[in-house]
Amino acid sequence: MTKHSRPGGLTRRRLLGGLATTLTPAAALAGTASASPAAPDPYAALGADVVTEFRTAWDSYRRLAWGRDELRPLSGSGSDFFIPGGTLGLTIIEALDTLYLMELDSELSAAVDWVKNDLRLDQRAPVQVFEAIIRLVGGLLSGYAATKDSALLARAGELADRLLPAFQRSATGAPYRYVNLATGEVHGAEVPLAEVGTCIAEFGELSRLTGNRTYFDAAKKALRAVCERRSPLDLVGTTINVETGAWVGTTATLDPPVDSFYEYLWDGWTLFGDKDLRTWYDTLTAAVFERLADRRNGRLWFRQADMTTGRITGHAQSELTAFYAGLLAQSGRPADGERYHDAWTAALGTFRLPPEYLDYRAMRALNPAYPLRPEYVDSCLFLWLTTGKDLYRSRARELYARQKRYCKVARGYTVVDDVTASPMRLGDLTPGYWYSENMKYYYLLFAKASRFDYRNNYLSTEGNVLRGLK
Ligand code: DMJ
């Protein structure tokens, strides 16, 4: 979940080819690597390895679940993500730009053919608006960015039009949670902030590409509906009623179900230069640091508090929030981003894989699952790009090795139900985001991706490259 271009066309330093290092995993995690400038890039072989691993999983998906939303690698079957008994080809759409970056062109061509010929968007069933935007609209837009095939842009626009009633039928402008793709019927008035606010990158890009402002305006109105209802402490809660505008969940937190809400305020500013978004991001972030930041042993965590009184209510942290290290680095707080990444790296000293939720004071897993989440490596990529420190490639390499050790199965990779069990208890799913996020981040970190502009790019919360494909 990440972004890299700035308003006004400012660019970042190209950081590939930085100092090579020789690391043990322990040194990598502790950040004690020493540089040896003469050594060859030790990551080049890993880049090729990422493609090999991706191919194994992709071939399994093609053989056993082609056209279904996701692969179940243990049982060798497919599963539905959005519509029980229906499919929207989630994995195919999630993988489009990754296939392009990895130069798997015949696979990309088969995937594009499926989208053109077999993707049915007129299904008479409700879908979750947020997931459809970040995964499908975003995936189709990144496929368009990769191929310049106008059919993909048209499909993204068609889907967005089917989702728009969720925004347009709401009194506040914040979207309903579900919309029926065929009828436009909406339901689900109590909506978590991530679901309200994580749409301006995809909808704004669609507006830019089509010249139709409707999508950007809908997304901005949704963000406004939340930001203008912030508390006098400049905090927001977790959930809002989109019909009344009343807060339903009043805990201020960076964890789900809020997480990417903050991300898209910053992204909307960097992508489209909208000053309101920047002001809202700065205002809410100042309050986050005043009320939620919890500095311990040189590390940084983020606690929970009541949005109205500021009273501290919890010390939990979700793995999904690990993306925030990269966001902080990109939004002008690199030292805080590094301290937050150090905190998660410390968790990886306790756990072999990051648990879904932990009590960071006791370093105890509150939810021991590891659904192949990409957030830690997402931050590795953007901390590396922002700070130029090779440390973040080495941290990514360590997690990559652990994923291979614990999550690899004959047909690719699968989720872990309990990272604290020995041996770890596995589940049966390769999530769509594994193709869109994990493997893309590793590839960009390790390989010198010739089709990626490391200076000027934008990756969405779902890892979709909306800008920066060459
Ligand atoms: C992805 O779908 C996106 O990154 C989203 O913003 C939340 N996290 C999941 C993967 O963990």
Could you tell me the residue ranges of all domains in the chain?
25-467
C-alpha of residue 379 to centroid of ligand 1, in Å: 13
pLDDT reported for residue 197: 98
**Atom number in ligand 1 closest to CA 374:** 11
C-alpha of residue 209 to centroid of ligand 1, in Å: 24
d(C-alpha 395, C-alpha 168), whole Å: 44
pLDDT reported for residue 5: 43
C-alpha of residue 33 to centroid of ligand 1, in Å: 30
Name 450's Cβ contacts closer than 8 Å, sequence gap at least 6. Answer: 103, 470
Question: What mean pLDDT value characterizes the chain?
Answer: 93
List pLDDT tens digits, range 195-251: 999 999 999 999 999 999 999 999 999 999 999 999 999 999 999 999 999 999 999
* pTM listed for this prediction: 0.92
Q: Tell me yes or no: is domain 25-467 CATH 1.10.540.10.
A: no
With cut-offs at 50, 70 and 90, classify the pLDDT of residue 38.
low
**Atom number in ligand 1 closest to CA 135:** 2
d(C-alpha 269, C-alpha 435), whole Å: 27
Look at ligand 1, atom 8, and give the residue with the nearest C-alpha: 320
List pLDDT tens digits, range 68-124: 999 999 999 999 999 999 999 999 999 999 999 999 999 999 999 999 999 999 999
d(C-alpha 340, C-alpha 292), whole Å: 13
Q: What is the mean pLDDT of residues 52-73?
A: 98
Mutate to test the pocket of ligand 1, among 94, 320, 407 (most ligand atoms within 8 A of CB): 320
**What is the percent of the chain with per-residue pLDDT over 90, rounded to a whole number?**
91
List pLDDT tens digits, range 348-391: 999 999 999 999 999 999 999 999 999 999 999 999 999 999 99
**Atom number in ligand 1 closest to CA 1:** 4
Please report, as a single letter, which amino acid is at residue 407.
Answer: C
Q: How are beta strands 70-72 and 34-35 bridged, if at all?
A: unpaired
Please report, for residues 54, 217, 354, 439, 467, the alpha-carbon distance to residue 404 in angstroms, rounded to integers and kept in the order given: 12, 43, 14, 12, 30
Mutate to test the pocket of ligand 1, among 130, 319, 462, 465 (most ligand atoms within 8 A of CB): 462
Structure tokens at 25: 């995993």
C-alpha of residue 461 to centroid of ligand 1, in Å: 6
Backbone angles phi, psi at 2, to 5 degrees: -170, 170
List pLDDT tens digits, range 409-426: 999 999 999 999 999 999
With cut-offs at 50, 70 and 90, classify the pLDDT of residue 41.
confident
List pLDDT tens digits, range 286-341: 999 999 999 999 999 999 999 999 999 999 999 999 999 999 999 999 999 999 99
Look at ligand 1, atom 10, and give the residue with the nearest C-alpha: 373
CA 265 to chain CA centroid, Å, is: 14
pLDDT reported for residue 36: 52
pLDDT at 29 over 60: no
C-alpha of residue 250 to centroid of ligand 1, in Å: 22
C-alpha of residue 260 to centroid of ligand 1, in Å: 8
First to last CA, the chain: 20
Taking a C-beta distance cutoff of 8 angstroms, is the pair 284, 226 a contact? no
C-alpha of residue 82 to centroid of ligand 1, in Å: 15
Structure tokens at 195: 């679901």
Taking a C-beta distance cutoff of 8 angstroms, is the pair 416, 405 a contact? no
Mutate to test the pocket of ligand 1, among 437, 441, 460 (most ligand atoms within 8 A of CB): 437
- CB-based pocket (< 6 A), ligand 1: 1, 134, 260, 320, 373-374, 433, 461-462
Look at ligand 1, atom 6, and give the residue with the nearest C-alpha: 461
271 C-beta neighbours (distance < 10 Å), count: 24
C-alpha of residue 85 to centroid of ligand 1, in Å: 23
CA 333 to chain CA centroid, Å, is: 20
Look at ligand 1, atom 11, and give the residue with the nearest C-alpha: 373
C-alpha of residue 289 to centroid of ligand 1, in Å: 23
With cut-offs at 50, 70 and 90, classify the pLDDT of residue 37.
low
Please report, for residues 102, 240, 251, 317, the alpha-carbon distance to residue 314 in angstroms, rounded to integers and kept in the order given: 42, 20, 9, 9
List pLDDT tens digits, range 148-160: 999 999 999 999 9
pLDDT reported for residue 26: 32
pLDDT at 30 over 60: no
pLDDT at 18 over 70: no
